[in-house]
A and B are shown apart, each in its own frame.
Chain A
Amino acid sequence: MFSLYQCTNLLQLHSKILDGNDEERTHDSEEDNALMRKVASQAIVLLKNEGSILPLKAEDLKKVAIIGPSTKTRTISGGGSASLKCSYVVTPYEGITNALPNGVDVLYSEGAAGSYQQHSYGYHV
């Protein structure tokens, strides 16, 4: 068993490790970002592709509709202890339009609200 003194010491040490110098900051490196992007791209799962529509062929595209409540929101993590603050975010809308060749028309509609009951937060203020 630890003594109270030892516990107090342990907690103080722990608090130093967790809180550092009390300043919030982001550790961002290009290598880390490249690795995370690789992991993210490999974690995407294709469930169904009848008629091999995917991948879309750039030369066939004239007009693309991007629809849905999760297209322009920044849904990057779950809530609670899974909460995450990113150094930057690319939304699905931005990711898709970035990948489209120049000259493709993009139509957008939110289509429907995307939450069960609560309002999304942080994007409007």
Chain B
Amino acid sequence: MSWHNMLDRETIISDPLHSLEVDETNLFLTDAIRPSGLKSEWGLRLRAKLRPRPEGVKQFEFGLIVAGRAKLFVNGKLVIDNWSKQRQGQAFFGSGTMEEKGVVDVKLGESPEVLVEFSNLTGPKEGDSGGNLIQPAVRLGGRDVTNSDQLMESAVAAAEEADIAIVVVGLNADWESEGYDRTTLDLPGRTNELVAKVAAANKKTIVVTQSVSILRHHSNTFEIYISYTGLCNYNAMGRFRPSFGSFVVSR
């Protein structure tokens, strides 16, 4: 990640003022320590490599949310423009854009070069010409492009074949956050259906739900609830004893 001044409101000056290593792609920069010499309008360049994707994966979809403006380049090609036109979203306490998405082809064993360019001036939105300073934040996410029916079928097949099926579902930091109210108690996406289908495929199905706030799901299974327990929690989940022994072991 490198900090840059702007040549004009559209262009980042190539020479960085300061560079540093970061190991996350969710950057809330309001209280970030700025390098000296940084002007009030500034930019960032974030460089990374995509990890090689598992065998069989042909495409990867990126998502880019920003408070400010951002563009995503993969192997030098523009994949997401969340800079020259924006849609207001709810991330970053309501200041962020909606998540804009873009798909790239991936080849087995290859690690495409990822570059995000960021500026702390807003982009134009409907009814707003942009160019305003904002509490800066940017977030890059992504997942392999998969066929959701095939994914569901592979889970059912695994559950049928095994003695025991353990399903771990729940919420995450996406919307279990602040400055936003969830609009549903249901599990995300098709995960409720996943629990039901796995439980139907294997009578010994253990469902683990992980969330802070409540969830609604409909299945007749063995259930465990855990919150976000931070550091190393899942070793605890694998081995915990007191109330009902461990998932597995009495070795």
Contact = CB atoms under 8 A, between A and B. Distances in A.
Interface of A: 19, 22, 33, 36-37, 39-50, 53-58, 60-71, 73, 75-92, 94-101, 105, 107-122, 124-125
Contact of A119 (B141, B222, B232): B141
B194 A86 contact: no
A95 B229 CA distance: 13
Given A37-B232, A78-B173, A111-B152, A65 B250 contact: no
A40 B234 CA distance: 9
A60 B248 contact: no
Contacts of B157: 109
Nearest to B51: A124
B142 A124 contact: yes
Interface of B: 24-26, 28, 33, 48-51, 60-63, 65, 91, 93, 99, 101, 114, 139-143, 146, 148, 151-152, 154-155, 157-159, 161-179, 184, 188-191, 193-194, 198, 202, 204, 206, 208, 210, 212, 221-251
Contact of B191 (A41, A111, A118): A111
Interface of A is mostly: loop
Contacts, number: 327
Contacts of A82: 173, 177-178, 228
B172 A120 contact: yes
A79 B179 CA distance: 10
Given A99-B249, A112-B148, A53 B227 contact: no
25 contacts: A40-B230, A40-B233, A44-B229, A45-B226, A50-B222, A54-B247, A55-B248, A64-B165, A68-B194, A69-B191, A73-B172, A78-B177, A79-B178, A92-B210, A96-B234, A99-B235, A99-B248, A100-B249, A116-B184, A118-B175, A119-B61, A119-B141, A119-B142, A120-B172, A124-B60
A55 B233 contact: no
A79 B28 CA distance: 11
A125 B222 contact: no
B232 A89 contact: yes
Contacts of B178: 79-82
Contacts of A61: 163-164, 248
Contact of A71 (B168, B189, B230): B168
Contact of B151 (A80, A88, A107, A112): A112
Contacts of B143: 113, 119-120, 124
Given A22-B33, A88-B232, A67 B188 contact: no
B230 A76 contact: yes
Contacts of B99: 117-119
B247 to A, nearest CB: 6
